[in-house]
A and B are shown apart, each in its own frame.
Chain A
Amino acid sequence: ELTQPPSVSVSPGQTARITCSGDALPKRYAYWYQQKSGQAPVLVIFEDDKQPSGIPERFSGSNSGAMATLTITGAQVEDEADYYCYSADSNGNHWVFGGGTKLTVL
């Protein structure tokens, strides 16, 4: 199971941090997805801290202990979305999403 806060709110230009806690995270990579209303999810961070091409540099990730964190440095209005963390169980065969965090930037 992965646990995320239901909501995070920041003003434009501020730093938004979204956490994801889970017992298997010390042994497994974390992935982060952005989902805007009515759209399919988009990968924003993979393998804890790697950026896919085309993702703004303001998106970064970390994974320490049993907690992964998605950081948006200088959040923009267009970053408003639901964010989901994703990881495997301790055996690596079954996967789970966090419950999702609604980010509000206003």
Chain B
Amino acid sequence: EVQLVESGGGLVQPGGSLRLSCAASGFTFSRNWMTWVRQAPGKGLEWVANIKQDGSEKYYVDSVRGRFTISRDNAKNSLFLQMDTLRAEDTAVYYCARDTVFWDSHTSAWYRGGGGIDFWGQGTMVTVSS
């Protein structure tokens, strides 16, 4: 059974830092791009960042670039989000998510396909407030 379990959320003051973790199980973690998505209370979903299988490529939404850092440890099947200089507008549920990967029987290789998300964790709440 595929599982993504986030942890590390909580209450932090503006300007503070938090490190979110996501423990993956039930699939071969090193095959997939991984993504962080957030949802402010009562609002829609917002893509935050993603990371390539080997960590060599990372992309961020403009509002967090320079403040947040996505990383992964394939040996420990874990994804991370280091969040610094937090602002009130960063208050949200943060979801860890797995991007699609498909098996190509013709080439006998895994490939990313379209790159969207196919599985989500249950989320961890981050509240930035004084």
Contact = CB atoms under 8 A, between A and B. Distances in A.
Given A29-B116, A31-B117, A47-B116, A100 B44 contact: yes
A41 B50 contact: no
Given A40-B120, A40-B122, A41-B120, A97 B46 contact: yes
B119 to A, nearest CB: 7
Nearest to B115: A88
Interface residues of B, number: 23
A31 B123 contact: no
Interface of A: 28-29, 31, 33, 35, 40-43, 46-47, 52, 82, 84, 86-88, 92-100
B121 to A, nearest CB: 7
Please indicate which of the listed interface residues B100, B116, B120 has the most CB atoms of chain A within 10 Å of its own CB: B116
B117 A47 contact: no
